[in-house]
């Protein structure tokens, strides 16, 4: 970002009389990360952002926004008085987006959106100056922040959009006005707040509400809920998935522990490789390849880009236990779709004995019991020798699995028995074992992981 303070006044439609016209090179809302050249936005969080303006000034910001219902200071710092800080934040983002005028790719989905965002950015960066959402800054603060901090020479902006309520993605897409909208998949994440997968699909489809008239809608064609709703979208559509009814699908997948290779119908002589496990990540790569194809990126360039990928947020990671056992860890995030995907991927990897530790999946509302029970269809003694379950909801899965597993190989723990779980794992694990740890963060399996390492 690069603009004079007078331009900020103009963008916000505020008269600029006798102001010190300093140069703005970035924006921030966290005073701890403020730096010289920044314009500070005192956004309302758990505390009023105005409380941190002095801290931002001490860290060198060039100017600050100030809401008119707060007492105006007499400091030397340059400031812009607005009626509403959040609205000013979004207004300036829209102005700067129009000024830079990049091609905008918007990405959402119940799972995989951060990985897919990174894949798209990597593919498109082979021929463009690309900016993307940092980490998972995907809400009403993150999207304007992403826009306002993109370099002035940005040609493509890849924006991740998350949601926890209806209307949120509609609002975010009204800020970004995407040229390409991408939906990775529809799962059960946030079903506690939406009630049904149908309503989740409705909310995700809001990403097409402000899609440019000549834009493209890229989505998972294996999902009936999306296929049904896509009929209402007038823009060009491209689908990916595992079925041969999609525009792009994998004809061959070669699973690995830390990499996955695959071949597609579109480029049968080209083998793609991604530095992560799982067929679900192949789907994310297919979405990125479709965006790349729509953006006229050479297939060979896309192949090289995906092989060299570094993802912002790869929560599932391979680690080594103290005794040499392999640990596949995802102790910060879990939902039924993600759990099933990682179980299927682990089945396909040729390793020794496999033990799985599953903790409660949170925020599933009234569907919690049935969704925990549904994992039983994907767990079998021939694939996973021992199953360790943690949390009150996992009792339902234990009951379902009791017909398949003996009591010696199916163990349940309350959340306050993590120390017992750790001791049992330490006694059982051998250097040749592979152990999966997966749960929502609220179960705190990271404590178990720490003691195994």
Q: Is 370 annotated as a binding residue?
A: no
Q: Is 112 annotated as a binding residue?
A: yes
What single DSSP character describes residue 186?
-
Q: Is 109 annotated as a binding residue?
A: yes
Q: Is 113 annotated as a binding residue?
A: yes
Per DSSP, the residues of 344-397 read HHHHHS--S-EEEEEEPPPS-GGGHHHHHHGGGGG--TTT-SEEEEESSTHHHH
Q: Token pair for residue 185?
A: 């998949």
Show the CA angle centred on residue 346, arms to residues 342 and 351, nearest 5°.
160
Q: Is 110 annotated as a binding residue?
A: yes
What are φ and ψ of residue 306, in 5° steps?
-65, -35
Q: Is 354 annotated as a binding residue?
A: no
CA 148 and chain centroid, separation: 20
Contact yes or no for 106/161 (Cβ under 8 A)? yes
- Sequence-distant (6+) residues with CB within 8 A of 76 are none
Per DSSP, the residues of 38-75 read EEE----SSS-GGGGHHHHHHTT-SEEEEETTSPPP--
Cα separation of 318 and 343, whole Å? 14
Q: Is 115 annotated as a binding residue?
A: yes
Q: Token pair for residue 262?
A: 């695959």
Q: Token pair for residue 176?
A: 């970004």
* Tokens 């079903």, located at residue: 191
H-helix segments, 205-268: 224-230
Contact yes or no for 55/31 (Cβ under 8 A)? yes
Cα separation of 356 and 389, whole Å? 8
Cα separation of 315 and 333, whole Å? 8
H-helix segments, 224-297: 224-230, 279-294
Binding-site annotation: residue ranges: 109-115
Task: Indicate the annotated binding residues for ATP.
Answer: 109-115
């Amino acid at each position: 970002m690069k603009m004079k303070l007078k331009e900020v006044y103009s963008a916000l439609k505020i008269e600029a009389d006798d102001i010190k016209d300093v140069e703005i090179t970035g924006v921030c809302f966290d005073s701890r990360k403020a730096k010289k050249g920044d314009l500070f936005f005192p956004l309302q969080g758990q505390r009023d952002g105005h409380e941190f303006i002095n801290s931002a000034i001490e860290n060198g910001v060039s100017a600050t926004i100030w809401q008119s219902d707060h007492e105006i200071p007499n400091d030397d710092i340059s400031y812009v008085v607005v009626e509403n800080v959040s609205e000013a934040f979004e207004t300036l983002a829209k102005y700067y987006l129009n000024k830079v005028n990049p091609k905008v790719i918007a990405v959402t989905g119940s799972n995989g959106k951060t990985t897919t965002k990174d894949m798209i950015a990597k593919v498109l960066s082979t021929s463009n100056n690309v900016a993307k959402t940092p980490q998972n800054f995907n809400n009403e603060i993150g999207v304007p922040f992403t826009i306002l901090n993109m370099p002035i020479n940005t040609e493509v902006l890849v924006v991740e959009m998350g949601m926890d309520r209806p209307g949120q993605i509609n609002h975010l897409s009204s800020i970004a006005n995407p040229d390409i909208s991408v939906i990775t998949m529809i799962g059960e994440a946030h079903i506690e707040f939406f009630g049904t997968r149908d309503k989740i699909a409705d909310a995700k489809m809001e990403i097409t509400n402000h899609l440019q008239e000549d834009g493209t809608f890229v989505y998972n064609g294996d999902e009936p809920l999306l296929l049904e709703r896509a009929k209402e979208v007038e823009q060009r559509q491209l689908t990916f998935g595992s079925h041969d009814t999609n525009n792009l699908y994998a004809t061959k997948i070669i699973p690995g522990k830390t990499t996955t290779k695959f071949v597609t119908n579109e480029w049968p002589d080209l083998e793609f490789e991604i530095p992560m496990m799982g067929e679900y990540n192949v789907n994310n790569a297919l979405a990125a390849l479709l965006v790349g194809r729509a953006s006229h990126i050479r297939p060979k360039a896309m192949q090289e880009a995906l092989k060299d990928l570094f993802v912002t947020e790869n929560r599932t990671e391979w680690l080594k236990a103290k005794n040499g056992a392999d640990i596949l860890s995802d102790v910060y995030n879990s939902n039924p779709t993600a759990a099933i995907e990682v179980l299927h991927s682990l089945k396909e990897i040729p390793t020794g004995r496999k033990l799985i530790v599953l903790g409660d999946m949170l925020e599933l509302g009234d569907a919690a019991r049935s969704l925990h029970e549904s994992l039983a269809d994907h767990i079998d003694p021939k694939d996973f020798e021992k199953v360790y379950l943690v949390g009150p909801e996992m009792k339902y899965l234990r009951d379902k699995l009791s017909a398949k597993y003996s009591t010696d190989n199916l163990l349940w723990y309350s959340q306050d028995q993590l120390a017992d779980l750790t001791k049992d794992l330490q006694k059982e694990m051998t250097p040749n074992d592979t152990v999966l740890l997966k749960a929502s963060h609220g179960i705190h399996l990271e404590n178990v992981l720490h003691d195994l390492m």
